[in-house]
A and B are shown apart, each in its own frame.
Chain A
Amino acid sequence: GNSVTQMEGPVTLSEEAFLTINCTYTATGYPSLFWYVQYPGEGLQLLLKATKADDKGSNKGFEATYRKETTSFHLEKGSVQVSDSAVYFCVMNYGGSQGNLIFGKGTKLSVKP
């Protein structure tokens, strides 16, 4: 069935370190892929998205490329900041209702000064 698998956390990094959070998906068709972020005490926010193969989503220094050949959508940032501390969710929409999303379990990131 359709599913999303992302790197288990928590992840702890020092400020300015390089971040990668791995995400792979299983889908019968060609889903849209998203990364959502939840900052402490806030609701989920869309961080970036990609709707077709080879698309690159980017926002706030974060990037993720939709790789159909490896069914992956890894999240990267070259230099993290303390303010990036949050829970990151890899999410897939495989069709049907726009909001019928499949979430990964989430990866908690803590960035230390």
Chain B
Amino acid sequence: EAGVTQFPSHSVIEKGQTVTLRCDPISGHDNLYWYRRVMGKEIKFLLHFVKESKQDESGMPNNRFLAERTGGTYSTLKVQPAELEDSGVYFCASSQGRSQGRSYNSPLHFGNGTRLTVT
């Protein structure tokens, strides 16, 4: 099966611009998660979708970040306007959901990440 894919792999933008990151989860996975790692810091949880609904968005840093998952398939994470401190690597992960006959603790599958540089 195809893994979690993220686009683009790298993005360089200027402060104040808008960037949209995309994540395609493994087909059929209800759960989709976004994380980010800023320079020198730990990977931090941003939010969790179950299908198209936001289950937990406690990690979203501020209202410049908007995540969507229309139709419950792929997800986008938009940063508008981007600031210098948004630079880092943004990871996406997916896992099967309860409705798919698996336990709640089915493993997370991560994408390779998008490296965002804001100059």
Interfacial residues, chain A to chain B (CB-CB below 8 A): 4, 32, 36, 41-46, 51, 89, 96-106
Which of A4, A97, A103 has most chain B Cβ within 10 Å?
A: A97
Please give, as numbers and ranges, the residues of chain B lying within 8 Å of A4 by CB-CB distance.
42
Contact status A45-B43, CB under 8 Å:
no
Interfacial residues, chain B to chain A (CB-CB below 8 A): 3-4, 31, 33, 35, 41-45, 48, 55-56, 58-59, 91, 93, 95, 104-105, 107-113
What are 21 A-B interface contacts by the 8 Å CB criterion? A43-B3, A43-B110, A43-B113, A44-B108, A46-B108, A51-B105, A89-B43, A96-B56, A97-B45, A97-B55, A97-B56, A98-B31, A98-B108, A99-B95, A99-B108, A101-B35, A103-B35, A103-B43, A103-B44, A104-B42, A106-B43
Main secondary structure of the interface of A (DSSP, over half): loop
Partner of A98, one of B4, B35, B95: B95
